[in-house]
Amino acid sequence: MTSKGGIVAFLARFREVGILFFLAVVVVLTTLKAPRFLQWDNLSSILLDVPLLITIAMGMTMVIISRNIDLSVGSMMGLSAMVVGMTLRANPNLPILVAMLIGIGAGAALGAVNGTLIAFLRVPAIIATLGTLSIYRGIIFILSDGKSINSQDLPDALTFLAKPAITKIPIIVVIALLVVLLAHLFLRTQRTGRDIFAIGSNPNAARLRGVPVTKTLFLVFLITGAVSGLAGFMYTARFAFVDPAQAGTGFELSVIAATVIGGTAIFGGAGSALGTLLGCLLLGVINNALAITDLNQMWQLAVYGAIILIAVYTDSLIRNRLGKPVKESA
């Protein structure tokens, strides 16, 4: 194998190590320019920003592994957040666990619509979810009548979830890590999880092997909707404010960028929950670094676009050199 081929093989097998290395570089360079980066107040800000990204990215990982895309995750999160906020405003004594289940249920229902369009009606995922992105965003305005949910509309028990607990770690961070654990176990130990990889690697071959492709794809989009709904609940707790015009707007780009940073093959068939977790952390650190070093925040979109292009090119390079995608490794 040539030297270049060896580098490609290394990238394919040790993506997580590369992400950790780049994360360390970003942390060191940012700290040198802005020493306050490592202060607890700033680190806690990062901890509060990434749980929403992590939670939805677990679903997006499954979607992209299956050789699909979901552009509606931001709108699903925003609509679920509005549903949770309006429900708690009308029922302030509602148990928080019930509110969380309502958010998950709302997201799952929206994900089921996506799954039906894509799995059963065979509408291309990018077209279907581009359409539902706008539809769900419109429903937010119709449902809310264009009015925001404010902090005084929400119970303290909800906003407490985004405050440091006894261990100084907010509960929404714990929730996000539990989602990562469940996604990891699902992809690693469950037959359906392995079926997702088979579909992404070769849908036709998966069908010949008896993989229930239609049902599995429907489940993938259902799960993605459910975690987007959970993120909507967490969004309401995190910000104690839901603006129909802003909640979740453009969030899908951040989710896709974090997922492909984490090594999920944009062409399907490869990815891991651990890699996506690291991708989310890296993106969260980059966002914070842009802010704390007083760089123009408009660079964020350029950074996301560049990251996606680099990830697609790297994945293509790996496939051309190795002839097949790298299987799930975490």
> Could you tell me if residue 223 is inside a domain?
yes
Comparing CA positions, the residue from 19, 157, 133 lying closest to residue 78 is: 133
Average pLDDT, the chain: 86
The answer to whether residue 242 sits within a structural domain is: yes
Give the rounded percent of residues in the chain with a pLDDT score beyond 70: 85
Classify residue 105: in a domain, yes or no: yes
Please report whether residue 51 resides in a domain.
yes
Q: How many CA atoms lie within 13 A of 300 on its CB side?
A: 18
Question: What residues form DSSP beta bridges with 149?
Answer: 242
How far apart are the C-alpha atoms of 57 and 34, rounded to whole Å?
29
Question: Do the domain assignments include residue 328?
Answer: no
* Closest to 224 (Cα-Cα) out of 267, 190, 268, 256: 256
Q: Centre a 10 Å sphere on the Cβ of residue 93 and count the other Cβ atoms it contains.
A: 7
Contact (CB, 8 A) for 268 and 254: no
Residue 330 inside a domain? The answer is: no
* 3-class DSSP assignment, residue 249: coil
Question: With pLDDT > 90 as the criterion, what percentage of the chain qualifies?
Answer: 52
How many structural domains does the chain have? 1
Q: Which residues contact 219 (CB under 8 A, 6 or more apart)?
A: 115, 192
How confident is the model over 123-145, as a mean pLDDT? 95
Residue 236's domain comprises 3-322
pTM beyond cutoff 0.85: yes
**Amino acid identity at 318:** I
CB atoms within 10 A of CB 28: 11
Cβ(34)–Cβ(293) below 8 Å: yes
Domain-embedded: residue 329: no
**Residue 330 — very low, low, confident or very high, per pLDDT cuts 50/70/90?**
very low
Dist. CA 164–CA 171, nearest whole Å: 7
Question: Residue 230 is part of a domain; what is its CATH number?
Answer: 1.10.3470
Question: Which of 38, 76, 50, 67 lies closest to 277, judged by CA?
Answer: 50
Residues ≥6 apart with Cβ < 8 Å to 197: 65, 187, 269, 270, 327, 328
Residue 232 maps to a domain: yes
pLDDT in tens, 48-106: 889 999 999 999 999 999 999 999 999 999 999 999 999 999 998 999 999 999 999 99
User: 296: which strand partners?
Assistant: none
